[in-house]
Amino acid sequence: MVSIVLEVACSLGAWLFLYICFCYWNKHRSHEWSCRLVTLLHGVIVTCLSGYVALWDGPWPLTHAGSPNTPLQIHVLSLTLGYFIFDLGWCLYFQTEGDLMLFHHTLSICGMIMVLGLGKSATEVNAVVFVSEITNPLLQTRWFLREIGCYHTFLGEVVDFFFVFLFLVLRIGGGALIMYAMVISPDPSWLLKAGGLAMYIVSLGFMAEICRFIRRKMWKKYHSWTRLRSVNAPVKTNGHLAAH
């Protein structure tokens, strides 16, 4: 257990050091710019690691929920736990996030601490990390595109599409399968099951925000299309079409 605490502390120190380096290299940028660079890097690294553990190294999360933690699972969760502690501290200090995101981070930290402490259930928690973090690089890319004035481009449309698609398919669909496997298995702790259910409810809250975003975006596109159509429509004068 002492080795895990040291590993988490090293992870926290590494993410904090990386953030300080980004702040130094990007002095002309905001603190949020540097923090989101850290978040982007974490998302890419942890998505690859947790995906490898869940899909290749095993055990399979839908059939082995509550199984003992493997060394690789411990390393991945320790790395992620250090990041979440860093990011929660940053969000509280700069007060940039709402209650839903703070609750999400708190649940994530508590869940990973419990799993590392109990020595089991890292299989399903690692899978949850995978389906949750896979959309994070796209989320950060959207923010950076908006900051540099390239969001309202074809690239922005592609990023938005894949972000929404992966969120609905993996985080909502895949998350539901993982949650079901966790609930029906007798091995995971009841407290972990309750935490997993709370985390899925948080994901549904994020999905509601995404649905509102999609509705606003489609509404804007519809109005832009109707305005363009009205401008390009031929104008009648005394029963005849007037030339533009």
> Whole-angstrom Cα distance, residue 210 to residue 241?
44
**244 pLDDT above the threshold of 50:** no
| 83 CB-contact burial (10 Å; exposed 0-12 / middle 13-18 / buried 19+) | buried
Confidence grade of residue 218 (pLDDT, cut at 50, 70, 90): confident
CA distances from 135 to 10, 37, 67, 213 (A): 26, 15, 27, 16
The one-letter code for the residue type at 104 is: H
pTM for this prediction: 0.86
CA triplet 56, 38, 174: central angle to 5 degrees?
A: 35
What's the N-to-C CA distance of the chain in angstroms? 78
pLDDT digits (tens, 9 = 90+) for 164-215: 999 999 999 999 999 999 999 998 889 999 999 999 999 999 999 898 888 8
The one-letter code for the residue type at 97 is: E
